[in-house]
Copies of this chain bind each other. A is one copy, B any other.
């Protein structure tokens, strides 16, 4: 059977954290690319592109993300396939991935047509991309509760206050520091190191994730994509 007129694209929602000016609390941000052609010329859109004829899905997601934003995340996960017949003037099914990058990486210079936006204060985007970001945020918020997903936004070693800030940014609410400490200490997912964060505050012990703990959210797929070893 032939199938005409349906094209396959891949796009990626890649979240990072950003501290704005005097505000030391980070917020969740993502990069968007300004479209230079119709449809939706001038609108902001998710980084992405067409699937190559011989290309695996996650390789296409990684390639198009790199080509549009210069970003190379260590971890990509498939989010959802968006395929409503009316989501674009021509028929395009978009398979969307999501990823996280640390703030120091997302702060490196972006190509001139790329800008970072607060995830919860987006303009009207091209196509159904507002809906896609909303879904990715929902997945991120659900996932942070039962996985080490916050690791993708942190250095290898981090203080409990830094980890809590990541949770607060993702969940968009304040968490009680004592409760948070108790919960992560009881979870068995963190290992204390001998290092301390020093600065204007009392020195804070640094932790790292315990990679021996099996996480429930990885799934059995061999293509669960670690393009590089998680850094």
Measured CB to CB, the residues of A under 8 A from B are: 1, 3-8, 50-51, 53-57, 78, 80-81, 83-85, 91, 93, 95, 131, 134-135, 138-139, 142, 216-217, 219-223
Contacts and interface: CB of A to CB of B under 8 A. Distances in A.
B8 A8 contact: yes
Contacts of A134: 220
A81 B83 CA distance: 11
B85 A138 contact: no
Task: Count this chain's copies in the assembly.
Answer: 2
A80 B97 CA distance: 11
B85 A54 contact: yes
A57 B6 CA distance: 12
Contacts of A95: 81, 83, 93
Given A51-B6, A85-B56, A93-B57, A221 B135 contact: yes
A62 to B, nearest CB: 14
Given A85-B55, A220-B134, A221-B135, A3 B50 contact: yes
A8 to B, nearest CB: 5
A216 B138 CA distance: 10
A138 to B, nearest CB: 5
A57 B83 contact: yes
A134 B4 CA distance: 31
A72 to B, nearest CB: 21
B51 A3 contact: yes
A53 B135 contact: no
A216 B57 CA distance: 28
A52 to B, nearest CB: 9
Given A8-B3, A8-B8, A50-B1, A84 B223 contact: yes
